[in-house]
Structure formats: C-alpha cells, structure tokens
C-alpha cells in the first residue's frame, strides 16, 4: 500500500479524490493537510473534517495550514465553482471533531521524518504548505517517496488566465519553490484532466455504488457541474483532483511527457508552468529548472472504471 498525505482545499473534486483514496485498498491516508484555495483555510479544514465524518474516518488527522499566498494579497476564492461552503451549498452538518493542533507543514515534516522514504505527498490545492514544509525541512525531498500534484498546464492554456491553472496561479511563488526543489514532481495538470471529462450521469453511478460517499459527491457536484457546463450543449463533470490518486493505484493508465519546468511569478503570466524546450537553457534561470513528469494522456475508459470499482 501507498502511505500518503493529501494536501487539499476541499472543494468538490477534492472530495471525489479523497473518497477515492479512502476507499482504495492500495492507499493508506495518514492525514489530510488543508490549505486555502477554493475556499478560506479555516473552511478547508472544517470541510476535510466533514469528509472524514461522511466516510466514518474520524481516525484520520486533519490539519489547518497556510491561509495566504507566499507573496502578495489573496487572489480570491473559487466559490463560483464550488459553492459558498465549498461543497455546492448542500448544507451538510458541521463536524464536531477538532482539527489537529499541528500546522499542515509541521505535520508533513513530522510524518516524513517518522516514515523516511515511505510517504507520497499528493497536493491537490495551492502549494503553500509544501513550500513551507520545504523551508522547515530542506531535506524533505529525500525524506519522502515522491510528490504528485494536481496543477499546472504545460502544453495547454490555463483555466484562470490564458496561461495559468488555478492551483499554481493561487500561489505561484510557493509553486516555484516546490518545482525548484530537489525532487521530480509528477504533475497532473489540465494537460490531462481537461481531456477526460465525464458525463454528469457518472456521479449518479458513483452514488448508486456507494450511497454514502458517492451520494455526497453526487449532491455536492450538481453546483460544480452547472459551473463547468455553462455555454455548452451537453453537461460535463471533471475529476481533476482524483487523477494523481488514480495514478498511484494504476500507473499504467497514464502517459507522461518529461520536461524542465519553471513556474512564472511575473504578473502577466503568473502561475504559468513553462516547459523549456531542449537547447533553450542559455539563462541560468533555466539551467536550474528541474525535471518534471507531466501527465499528458490517460486511458479514459479504464480510469473511470477504476473510479467505479474503487467507490463500490
């Protein structure tokens, strides 16, 4: 089994991903570390507790982490995608459990030291907690097994600006720190997630298979589906955050393109994940760019079958 920590800003597709992880026999979730992003960080932590309640997993620690970008003012939340409560305004009763007293970054460092070489960090929100954990423990890349993220757009346009994907754009300086660290980031960005939409009926199938967790996703996803379906003839649903988790369980579903990537922190193209084509490394800013594995293809049918089988 894969020991993981999920760093998250729940969030509807975060919920899809977290329940997938809870249900997978191949994944052991050591904790949910929360960060601002779709919603403020205090709400992210409360929502992570809610997901544990829904799943009957009150044994899993939930921490609260970074609530602001590394540099500059807040970039605003994504209530228009995820609802006022982050879960499509379904009015789920708040958890009575408390968050863990450790900060998200402290928790990540503590767990990495406790299980050296064993933990995969799966980041499905902005990267402030991971950047802060790197500051607390510069040796973090050696202490963990790997880092997989949902974020970025290597070869396709962005979703919040022409060049930037939301998780990277929300905290570009933190993302720059994380991408520049001494590990090979596995990136599941819009290059792969946007090209594997589902029919919204797919969430009904999940609800059918698993009335508790799938049922929660089904209710919460209605608002999210409306958002993503604006201006289209047919409705669609995206499972962005579930991709890095599916990859842990079935790596052969994915195709990767390797590249040297840097994250822009400049205003106009803030949050762009820029790939250096071979031979364009004249500037030292680029010779330092680290190798990233960017997912650029997925077997849709087997991916969605994996979701169904795992939720069931």
Strands in 2-8's sheet, in edge-to-edge order, are 62-64, 27-34, 2-8, 119-123, 146-150, 186-188, 290-298, 254-263, 273-276
Q: Which of 4, 41, 78, 177 binds ligand BDR (CB under 6 A)?
A: 78
Q: What angle do CA 238, 243, 244 make, to 5 degrees?
A: 150
Position 217 contacts ligand BDR (CB under 6 A): no
Binding residues for Ca ion, rule: CB under 5 A, are: 9, 11, 14, 124-125, 241
Position 240 contacts ligand BDR (CB under 6 A): yes
Per CB under 6 A, the segment of 25-33, 114-122, 130-138, 165-173 that binds ligand BDR is 165-173
Own/partner long-range contacts of 304-310 (Cβ < 8 Å, ≥24 apart): 304/198, 304/202, 306/246, 306/249, 306/250, 306/253, 307/20, 307/202, 307/206, 307/239, 307/242, 307/246, 308/205, 308/206, 308/209, 310/20, 310/23, 310/24, 310/249
Give me the 119-158 binding string for ligand BDR, x by CB under 6 A, dash otherwise. -----xx------------------------x--------
Alpha helix locations (H) across the chain?
Answer: 12-23, 41-55, 79-82, 104-114, 128-136, 140-143, 166-170, 172-180, 190-193, 201-209, 213-229, 243-249, 284-287, 300-311
Q: Which of 167, 273, 293, 296 binds ligand BDR (CB under 6 A)?
A: 167
220 binds, among Ca ion, ligand BDR, none (CB under 5 to 8 A by kind): none
Nearer to ligand BDR, 81 or 172 (CB): 81
Position 38 contacts ligand BDR (CB under 6 A): yes
CB of 166 to Ca ion, least distance (A): 8
Active site residues: 9, 240
Nearer to Ca ion, 208 or 227 (CB): 227
64 binds, among ligand BDR, Ca ion, none (CB under 5 to 8 A by kind): none
What is the contact surface with ligand BDR in residues (CB under 6 A)? Answer: 11, 13-14, 38, 78, 81, 124-125, 150, 159, 165-167, 240-241
């Amino acid at each position: 089994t894969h020991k993981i920590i999920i760093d998250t800003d729940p969030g509807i597709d975060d919920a899809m991903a977290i329940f997938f992880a809870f249900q997978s026999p191949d994944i052991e979730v050591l904790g949910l570390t929360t960060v601002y992003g779709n919603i403020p960080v205090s709400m992210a932590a409360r929502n992570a507790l809610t997901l544990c309640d829904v799943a009957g997993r009150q044994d899993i620690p939930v921490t609260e982490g970074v609530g602001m970008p590394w540099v500059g003012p807040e970039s605003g939340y994504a209530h228009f995608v995820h609802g006022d409560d982050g879960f499509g305004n379904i009015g789920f009763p708040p958890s009575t459990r408390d968050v863990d007293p450790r900060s998200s970054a402290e928790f990540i460092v503590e767990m990495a030291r406790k299980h050296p070489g064993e933990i995969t960090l799966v980041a499905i929100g902005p990267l402030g907690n991971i950047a802060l954990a790197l500051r607390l423990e510069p040796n973090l890349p050696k202490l963990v097994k790997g880092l997989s993220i949902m974020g970025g757009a290597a070869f396709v346009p962005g979703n919040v600006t022409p060049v930037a994907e939301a998780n990277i754009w929300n905290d570009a300086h933190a993302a720059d720190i994380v991408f520049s660290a001494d590990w090979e980031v596995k990136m599941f960005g819009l290059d792969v997630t946007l090209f594997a939409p589902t029919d919204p009926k797919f969430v009904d199938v999940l609800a059918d298979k698993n009335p508790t967790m799938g049922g929660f996703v089904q209710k919460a996803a209605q608002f999210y589906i409306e958002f993503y379906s604006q201006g289209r003839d047919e409705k669609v649903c995206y499972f962005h955050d579930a991709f890095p988790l599916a990859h842990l369980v079935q790596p052969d579903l994915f195709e990767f393109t390797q590249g040297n990537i840097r994250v822009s922190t400049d205003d106009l193209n803030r949050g762009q994940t820029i790939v250096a084509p071979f031979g364009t490394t004249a500037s030292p800013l680029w010779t330092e760019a680290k190798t990233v594995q960017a997912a650029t293809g997925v077997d849709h049918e087997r991916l969605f079958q994996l979701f169904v089988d795992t939720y069931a």
